[in-house]
Amino acid sequence: MFKMSKNWYPVVNYDKCIGCMACIKKCKRRVYQLGLDNKPKVVNPDNCVEGCHGCGNSCPTNAITYFGDNSDKKTINSCGGCSSMDNKNNLNMEIFEPAMCCDTGLCGVSINPELLRISTVLNTLKKNGVVVKRFNLSSAPMKFVNNKVVNDFINNNGVEKLPVILLNGKIVISGRYPTNEEIIKLLNLPKNLIDKKPSCNCKSDSCDCNGGCC
């Protein structure tokens, strides 16, 4: 039993969309079609399921919002498979990145798979209430100047050794991004958090998520 909705459907921000197609792959209800510009088009909004955030949760650049979503509560637990948590363990991770074209480094023509991975992982964490801050040298240079640990690191090693990963103010990784496993370990998170289905607030009796987000 599906609750089709004229009151709820995805809206794509094409300034943020990088055309990765994750939303099209995610939606089993054919709400999207690939446009001639290789970007997703919402062609069947009435097929969208009210409360579902499946495609939005899959989007690495947060390009999808929902018409009809007034709650702004994207991590409400109403599916059996959803979960929400915060940085209760007081572990604070920050990523200081080299100069990039935009906040995620994903706006260029060719997509760096490592940047896509880290953006997707950080989005998943954020949707589960775990915030990892990231700063890049071109858009937030003062963050690098004002952080003594990062400033010293750059003075000693050069900007070419970025990114640098801080945990509670101390450098734990440099010269590369942390693996998914390292992020889980460093932040003391459940092992399956990154790979499990993302959080949503759809009602399990109104879509086909079966408690795990559609």
Q: Would you tell me which residues interact with ligand SF4 (CB under 6 A)?
A: 10, 12, 17-23, 26-27, 29, 31, 40, 48-49, 52-55, 58-59, 61, 63-64, 214
Q: Which residue has the tokens 């007081």?
A: 90
**165 vs 214, beta carbon nearer ligand SF4:** 214
**54 vs 178, beta carbon nearer ligand SF4:** 54
Task: Kindly state the smallest distance separating residue 58's Cβ from ligand SF4, in Å.
Answer: 6
Which residue(s) pair with 113 in the sheet?
A: none
DSSP string of 20-86, one letter each residue: --HHHHH-TT--EEE-TTSSEEE--GGGSBTT--HHHHH-TT--EEEET--S--TT---STT-----
Number of CB atoms found within 10 A of residue 207's CB? 25
**184 vs 213, beta carbon nearer ligand SF4:** 213
Give the C-alpha distances (Å, rounded to integers) separating 86 from 12, 21, 62, 92, 176: 27, 29, 19, 11, 25
Helix (H) or strand (E) holding 124: helix 113-127
Number of CB atoms found within 10 A of residue 118's CB? 25
Task: Kindly state the smallest distance separating residue 156's Cβ from ligand SF4, in Å.
Answer: 37
Task: Kindly state the smallest distance separating residue 123's Cβ from ligand SF4, in Å.
Answer: 10
**48 vs 184, beta carbon nearer ligand SF4:** 48
Task: Kindly state the smallest distance separating residue 102's Cβ from ligand SF4, in Å.
Answer: 12
How many angstroms separate the CA atoms of 23 and 11, rounded?
Answer: 11
Task: Kindly state the smallest distance separating residue 209's Cβ from ligand SF4, in Å.
Answer: 8
Task: Kindly state the smallest distance separating residue 182's Cβ from ligand SF4, in Å.
Answer: 25
**12 vs 183, beta carbon nearer ligand SF4:** 12
**154 vs 209, beta carbon nearer ligand SF4:** 209
